[in-house]
A and B are shown apart, each in its own frame.
Chain A
Amino acid sequence: MLKTLARFAPRSPWIYRLNAGSCNGCDVEMATTALIPRYDVERLGCKYCGSPRHADIVLISGPLTLRVRDKVLRVFDEIPNPKVTVGVGVCPVSGGVFRDSYTVDQPQESYIALDVIVPGCPPRPQAIIEGVAKALEVWKERLEVA
Protein backbone atom coordinates (compact mmCIF):
# COMPACT_ATOMS: atom_id res chain seq x y z
CA MET A 1 0.00 0.00 0.00
CA LEU A 2 2.70 2.41 1.04
CA LYS A 3 4.82 1.43 -1.94
CA THR A 4 2.05 2.11 -4.48
CA LEU A 5 1.32 5.35 -2.75
CA ALA A 6 4.99 6.31 -2.98
CA ARG A 7 4.98 5.50 -6.70
CA PHE A 8 1.93 7.59 -7.51
CA ALA A 9 2.65 10.45 -5.17
CA PRO A 10 6.37 11.16 -5.36
CA ARG A 11 7.57 13.39 -2.62
CA SER A 12 9.29 16.69 -3.18
CA PRO A 13 13.01 16.40 -2.60
CA TRP A 14 14.86 19.10 -0.76
CA ILE A 15 18.14 20.26 -2.14
CA TYR A 16 21.21 21.09 -0.13
CA ARG A 17 24.26 22.88 -1.49
CA LEU A 18 27.66 21.74 -0.34
CA ASN A 19 30.68 23.84 -1.22
CA ALA A 20 33.78 21.64 -1.17
CA GLY A 21 36.24 24.44 -1.78
CA SER A 22 34.77 25.70 -5.01
CA CYS A 23 35.73 28.97 -6.71
CA ASN A 24 32.09 30.12 -6.25
CA GLY A 25 31.34 30.07 -9.96
CA CYS A 26 29.12 27.02 -9.66
CA ASP A 27 27.60 28.33 -6.42
CA VAL A 28 26.51 31.52 -8.13
CA GLU A 29 24.89 29.47 -10.88
CA MET A 30 23.16 27.28 -8.31
CA ALA A 31 21.84 30.31 -6.48
CA THR A 32 20.68 31.69 -9.82
CA THR A 33 18.89 28.43 -10.56
CA ALA A 34 16.98 28.66 -7.32
CA LEU A 35 16.35 32.34 -6.80
CA ILE A 36 15.71 33.91 -10.17
CA PRO A 37 12.21 33.33 -11.54
CA ARG A 38 13.62 32.70 -15.00
CA TYR A 39 15.22 29.38 -13.95
CA ASP A 40 12.78 28.31 -11.27
CA VAL A 41 13.98 24.98 -9.90
CA GLU A 42 10.95 24.82 -7.59
CA ARG A 43 8.80 23.86 -10.57
CA LEU A 44 10.30 20.38 -10.24
CA GLY A 45 9.10 20.19 -6.65
CA CYS A 46 12.55 20.91 -5.28
CA LYS A 47 13.40 23.37 -2.60
CA TYR A 48 16.70 24.54 -1.23
CA CYS A 49 17.04 23.91 2.48
CA GLY A 50 19.46 25.22 5.04
CA SER A 51 20.03 22.13 7.12
CA PRO A 52 21.75 18.98 5.85
CA ARG A 53 19.40 16.88 8.00
CA HIS A 54 16.44 17.90 5.85
CA ALA A 55 18.11 17.25 2.53
CA ASP A 56 17.47 14.57 -0.10
CA ILE A 57 19.56 15.78 -3.02
CA VAL A 58 23.05 17.19 -2.44
CA LEU A 59 24.63 19.52 -4.96
CA ILE A 60 28.39 19.43 -4.49
CA SER A 61 30.68 21.95 -6.10
CA GLY A 62 34.42 22.26 -5.85
CA PRO A 63 37.38 19.91 -5.81
CA LEU A 64 37.39 19.06 -2.06
CA THR A 65 40.29 21.10 -0.79
CA LEU A 66 42.30 19.84 2.16
CA ARG A 67 41.11 22.70 4.32
CA VAL A 68 37.42 21.85 4.12
CA ARG A 69 37.69 18.12 3.61
CA ASP A 70 36.85 17.00 7.13
CA LYS A 71 34.07 19.55 7.53
CA VAL A 72 32.50 18.61 4.20
CA LEU A 73 32.60 14.91 5.05
CA ARG A 74 31.06 15.60 8.48
CA VAL A 75 28.20 17.57 6.91
CA PHE A 76 27.79 14.96 4.17
CA ASP A 77 27.39 12.21 6.78
CA GLU A 78 24.59 14.17 8.42
CA ILE A 79 22.43 13.94 5.30
CA PRO A 80 20.02 11.05 5.76
CA ASN A 81 19.86 8.12 3.36
CA PRO A 82 18.71 7.61 0.66
CA LYS A 83 20.45 10.65 -0.71
CA VAL A 84 21.42 11.54 -4.24
CA THR A 85 24.71 13.27 -4.91
CA VAL A 86 25.01 15.65 -7.83
CA GLY A 87 28.44 16.94 -8.80
CA VAL A 88 28.10 20.44 -10.24
CA GLY A 89 30.93 21.50 -12.52
CA VAL A 90 33.97 19.51 -13.56
CA CYS A 91 35.84 20.03 -10.28
CA PRO A 92 34.18 17.23 -8.27
CA VAL A 93 34.97 14.72 -11.03
CA SER A 94 38.43 15.62 -12.24
CA GLY A 95 39.56 18.70 -10.38
CA GLY A 96 39.20 20.92 -13.43
CA VAL A 97 41.84 23.63 -13.45
CA PHE A 98 42.70 22.82 -9.82
CA ARG A 99 43.90 19.34 -10.68
CA ASP A 100 47.30 18.42 -9.25
CA SER A 101 47.17 21.34 -6.83
CA TYR A 102 48.79 20.71 -3.46
CA THR A 103 45.69 22.02 -1.68
CA VAL A 104 43.31 19.64 -3.41
CA ASP A 105 42.64 16.11 -2.26
CA GLN A 106 42.04 14.30 -5.51
CA PRO A 107 40.09 12.43 -6.51
CA GLN A 108 37.01 13.46 -4.61
CA GLU A 109 35.47 10.20 -5.79
CA SER A 110 37.39 8.32 -3.13
CA TYR A 111 35.42 10.19 -0.46
CA ILE A 112 32.05 11.00 -2.02
CA ALA A 113 30.52 8.91 -4.80
CA LEU A 114 28.71 11.02 -7.37
CA ASP A 115 25.39 9.76 -8.75
CA VAL A 116 24.83 12.49 -11.31
CA ILE A 117 27.44 14.76 -12.90
CA VAL A 118 26.77 18.13 -14.52
CA PRO A 119 29.92 19.11 -16.43
CA GLY A 120 30.68 22.72 -17.13
CA CYS A 121 32.85 25.48 -15.75
CA PRO A 122 30.39 26.60 -14.52
CA PRO A 123 27.39 24.79 -15.98
CA ARG A 124 24.60 27.07 -17.12
CA PRO A 125 21.45 27.14 -14.96
CA GLN A 126 19.48 25.05 -17.44
CA ALA A 127 22.16 22.36 -17.23
CA ILE A 128 21.85 22.35 -13.43
CA ILE A 129 18.08 21.97 -13.78
CA GLU A 130 18.74 19.08 -16.15
CA GLY A 131 20.99 17.52 -13.54
CA VAL A 132 18.38 17.96 -10.83
CA ALA A 133 15.80 16.32 -13.12
CA LYS A 134 18.15 13.37 -13.57
CA ALA A 135 18.77 13.25 -9.84
CA LEU A 136 15.00 13.03 -9.32
CA GLU A 137 14.94 9.84 -11.42
CA VAL A 138 17.78 8.36 -9.37
CA TRP A 139 16.03 9.38 -6.18
CA LYS A 140 12.78 7.68 -7.19
CA GLU A 141 14.73 4.50 -7.99
CA ARG A 142 16.34 4.66 -4.57
CA LEU A 143 12.99 5.18 -2.87
CA GLU A 144 11.51 2.14 -4.57
CA VAL A 145 14.43 0.01 -3.45
CA ALA A 146 14.27 1.30 0.11
Chain B
Amino acid sequence: MLPFLKIMVKNLLAGPSTDPFPFAPAHTPKRFRGRACHDKEKCILCGICRHVCAAGAIQLRVTEDGMAVHWVLWHNSCVFCGLCAHHCPTKALTMSDDWHMTHRGEERFDQREVSFVPYGQCSQCGARIHPRPESVVQQLGSRYPERFMMCPVCKRQELARRVTPAKPSITTGESDERDSA
Protein backbone atom coordinates (compact mmCIF):
# COMPACT_ATOMS: atom_id res chain seq x y z
CA MET B 1 0.00 0.00 0.00
CA LEU B 2 1.27 3.42 -1.04
CA PRO B 3 4.74 2.28 -2.15
CA PHE B 4 5.70 5.80 -3.12
CA LEU B 5 5.81 6.79 0.54
CA LYS B 6 8.88 4.66 1.02
CA ILE B 7 10.61 6.32 -1.95
CA MET B 8 9.60 9.75 -0.73
CA VAL B 9 11.02 9.21 2.73
CA LYS B 10 14.20 7.76 1.25
CA ASN B 11 14.66 10.79 -1.03
CA LEU B 12 13.92 13.19 1.80
CA LEU B 13 16.64 11.60 3.88
CA ALA B 14 19.09 11.56 0.97
CA GLY B 15 18.85 15.33 0.55
CA PRO B 16 19.01 17.38 -2.65
CA SER B 17 20.75 15.87 -5.66
CA THR B 18 21.58 19.27 -7.17
CA ASP B 19 25.24 20.06 -7.53
CA PRO B 20 25.75 23.15 -5.36
CA PHE B 21 28.29 24.53 -7.79
CA PRO B 22 28.07 28.34 -7.91
CA PHE B 23 27.76 28.44 -4.14
CA ALA B 24 30.16 25.60 -3.29
CA PRO B 25 33.05 23.95 -5.12
CA ALA B 26 32.04 21.35 -7.66
CA HIS B 27 33.31 17.81 -7.82
CA THR B 28 35.87 17.33 -10.59
CA PRO B 29 36.88 13.85 -11.72
CA LYS B 30 40.56 13.11 -11.27
CA ARG B 31 41.23 12.53 -14.96
CA PHE B 32 39.20 15.47 -16.19
CA ARG B 33 41.01 17.28 -19.00
CA GLY B 34 41.02 21.01 -18.48
CA ARG B 35 43.59 23.73 -19.01
CA ALA B 36 46.91 22.50 -20.43
CA CYS B 37 50.04 23.29 -18.43
CA HIS B 38 53.50 23.67 -19.93
CA ASP B 39 56.69 23.08 -17.98
CA LYS B 40 59.52 24.95 -19.70
CA GLU B 41 62.10 23.12 -17.58
CA LYS B 42 61.31 19.93 -19.49
CA CYS B 43 60.57 21.29 -22.98
CA ILE B 44 62.99 20.31 -25.75
CA LEU B 45 61.20 22.31 -28.46
CA CYS B 46 60.62 19.26 -30.64
CA GLY B 47 57.37 20.77 -31.89
CA ILE B 48 55.36 17.57 -31.66
CA CYS B 49 52.69 19.39 -29.64
CA ARG B 50 52.19 21.92 -32.40
CA HIS B 51 52.18 19.17 -35.00
CA VAL B 52 49.45 17.09 -33.36
CA CYS B 53 47.32 19.98 -32.07
CA ALA B 54 43.88 19.45 -33.63
CA ALA B 55 42.77 23.03 -33.22
CA GLY B 56 46.05 24.75 -34.01
CA ALA B 57 46.21 26.31 -30.58
CA ILE B 58 49.97 25.95 -30.11
CA GLN B 59 52.54 28.22 -31.68
CA LEU B 60 56.33 28.23 -31.44
CA ARG B 61 57.66 31.70 -32.20
CA VAL B 62 61.41 32.15 -32.50
CA THR B 63 62.60 35.41 -30.97
CA GLU B 64 64.21 38.09 -33.12
CA ASP B 65 67.76 37.23 -32.08
CA GLY B 66 67.08 33.55 -32.77
CA MET B 67 68.33 32.39 -29.39
CA ALA B 68 65.03 31.38 -27.79
CA VAL B 69 61.44 30.39 -28.53
CA HIS B 70 58.18 31.71 -27.20
CA TRP B 71 55.96 28.68 -26.68
CA VAL B 72 52.34 29.87 -26.80
CA LEU B 73 49.07 28.01 -26.26
CA TRP B 74 45.82 29.95 -26.64
CA HIS B 75 43.22 28.46 -24.32
CA ASN B 76 40.40 29.90 -26.40
CA SER B 77 41.41 27.67 -29.27
CA CYS B 78 42.36 24.55 -27.33
CA VAL B 79 39.78 21.75 -27.49
CA PHE B 80 41.25 19.77 -24.57
CA CYS B 81 41.80 16.64 -26.64
CA GLY B 82 45.03 15.96 -24.73
CA LEU B 83 46.94 14.83 -27.82
CA CYS B 84 49.80 17.22 -27.06
CA ALA B 85 50.22 15.82 -23.55
CA HIS B 86 49.99 12.27 -24.91
CA HIS B 87 52.70 12.80 -27.52
CA CYS B 88 55.02 15.03 -25.50
CA PRO B 89 58.23 12.94 -25.22
CA THR B 90 59.46 14.60 -22.03
CA LYS B 91 56.04 15.07 -20.36
CA ALA B 92 56.54 18.81 -20.39
CA LEU B 93 52.88 19.25 -21.32
CA THR B 94 50.21 18.03 -18.94
CA MET B 95 46.46 18.45 -18.81
CA SER B 96 45.30 19.87 -15.48
CA ASP B 97 41.78 19.43 -14.15
CA ASP B 98 41.23 23.18 -13.93
CA TRP B 99 38.09 24.18 -15.83
CA HIS B 100 37.47 27.62 -14.29
CA MET B 101 38.26 29.45 -17.49
CA THR B 102 35.21 31.64 -17.91
CA HIS B 103 36.25 35.20 -18.69
CA ARG B 104 35.03 38.49 -20.08
CA GLY B 105 35.16 39.03 -23.82
CA GLU B 106 37.81 41.75 -23.46
CA GLU B 107 40.26 39.30 -21.90
CA ARG B 108 40.07 36.75 -24.66
CA PHE B 109 43.64 37.19 -25.81
CA ASP B 110 45.02 37.11 -22.25
CA GLN B 111 43.99 33.48 -21.93
CA ARG B 112 47.35 32.09 -22.93
CA GLU B 113 49.99 29.77 -21.65
CA VAL B 114 53.32 31.34 -22.56
CA SER B 115 56.77 29.88 -21.90
CA PHE B 116 60.12 31.36 -22.83
CA VAL B 117 62.38 28.46 -23.78
CA PRO B 118 66.01 29.33 -24.67
CA TYR B 119 67.93 27.20 -27.17
CA GLY B 120 70.92 25.20 -26.02
CA GLN B 121 74.53 25.62 -27.15
CA CYS B 122 76.86 22.99 -28.55
CA SER B 123 79.60 22.32 -26.04
CA GLN B 124 82.23 22.20 -28.84
CA CYS B 125 81.44 24.86 -31.43
CA GLY B 126 78.75 26.86 -29.63
CA ALA B 127 76.22 26.34 -32.39
CA ARG B 128 72.50 26.56 -31.67
CA ILE B 129 71.00 23.20 -30.69
CA HIS B 130 67.70 22.19 -29.23
CA PRO B 131 67.58 22.67 -25.46
CA ARG B 132 68.88 19.88 -23.27
CA PRO B 133 67.12 20.38 -19.95
CA GLU B 134 68.54 18.82 -16.83
CA SER B 135 65.77 16.24 -16.53
CA VAL B 136 66.33 15.06 -20.11
CA VAL B 137 70.10 14.86 -19.64
CA GLN B 138 69.62 12.66 -16.60
CA GLN B 139 67.22 10.44 -18.47
CA LEU B 140 68.85 10.10 -21.88
CA GLY B 141 72.33 11.60 -21.76
CA SER B 142 73.78 9.88 -18.75
CA ARG B 143 75.79 7.39 -20.83
CA TYR B 144 77.74 9.89 -22.91
CA PRO B 145 77.06 13.21 -21.23
CA GLU B 146 79.70 15.15 -23.21
CA ARG B 147 78.42 13.84 -26.54
CA PHE B 148 74.81 14.54 -25.58
CA MET B 149 75.48 18.25 -25.42
CA MET B 150 76.91 18.50 -28.96
CA CYS B 151 75.42 19.69 -32.22
CA PRO B 152 74.94 16.99 -34.92
CA VAL B 153 78.08 18.04 -36.83
CA CYS B 154 80.36 17.92 -33.80
CA LYS B 155 78.78 14.66 -32.70
CA ARG B 156 79.51 13.10 -36.09
CA GLN B 157 83.12 14.29 -36.04
CA GLU B 158 83.57 13.03 -32.51
CA LEU B 159 82.22 9.61 -33.45
CA ALA B 160 84.38 9.44 -36.58
CA ARG B 161 87.43 10.34 -34.53
CA ARG B 162 86.70 7.47 -32.17
CA VAL B 163 85.97 4.88 -34.85
CA THR B 164 88.74 5.52 -37.40
CA PRO B 165 92.24 4.28 -36.55
CA ALA B 166 95.14 6.69 -36.34
CA LYS B 167 96.56 7.82 -39.68
CA PRO B 168 99.43 5.66 -40.99
CA SER B 169 102.70 7.57 -40.86
CA ILE B 170 104.06 6.23 -44.22
CA THR B 171 102.09 7.07 -47.35
CA THR B 172 101.67 4.30 -49.92
CA GLY B 173 102.71 4.54 -53.52
CA GLU B 174 99.13 4.05 -54.65
CA SER B 175 97.92 7.32 -53.26
CA ASP B 176 100.99 9.13 -54.66
CA GLU B 177 100.14 7.93 -58.14
CA ARG B 178 96.57 9.18 -57.81
CA ASP B 179 97.80 12.54 -56.62
CA SER B 180 100.14 12.93 -59.56
CA ALA B 181 97.51 11.78 -62.06
Contacts and interface: CB of A to CB of B under 8 A. Distances in A.
Contacts of B108: 93, 114, 117
B101 A121 contact: no
Given A38-B18, A90-B77, A94-B74, A116 B99 contact: no
Given A90-B55, A90-B79, A93-B108, A37 B17 contact: yes
Interface residues of B, number: 28
B104 A115 contact: yes
A132 to B, nearest CB: 9
A43 B32 CA distance: 25
Contact of B76 (A94, A126, A130): A94
Contact of A126 (B17, B19, B104, B105): B19
Interface string A70-94: 0000000000000001010010011
Contacts of B19: 38-39, 126
A99 B56 contact: yes
Contacts of A113: 105
Contact of B100 (A38, A40, A130): A130
Contacts of A123: 99
A120 interface: yes
Contacts of A96: 55, 77, 79
Nearest to B19: A38
Interface string B63-95: 000000000001111111100000000000000
A23 B99 CA distance: 21
A134 B108 CA distance: 14
B101 A129 contact: no
B104 A116 contact: yes
A117 B102 contact: yes
Interface string B1-34: 0000000000000000111011000100000100
Nearest to A131: B102
Contacts of A126: 19, 21, 26, 99
Contact of A127 (B18, B55, B57, B102): B102
Given A117-B108, A126-B26, 20 more contacts: A37-B18, A44-B22, A85-B105, A90-B77, A94-B76, A94-B77, A95-B77, A96-B55, A99-B56, A114-B105, A116-B102, A116-B104, A117-B76, A119-B78, A119-B101, A121-B79, A121-B80, A127-B102, A134-B104, A138-B104
Interface of B: 17-19, 21-22, 26, 32, 54-57, 74-81, 99-105, 108, 111
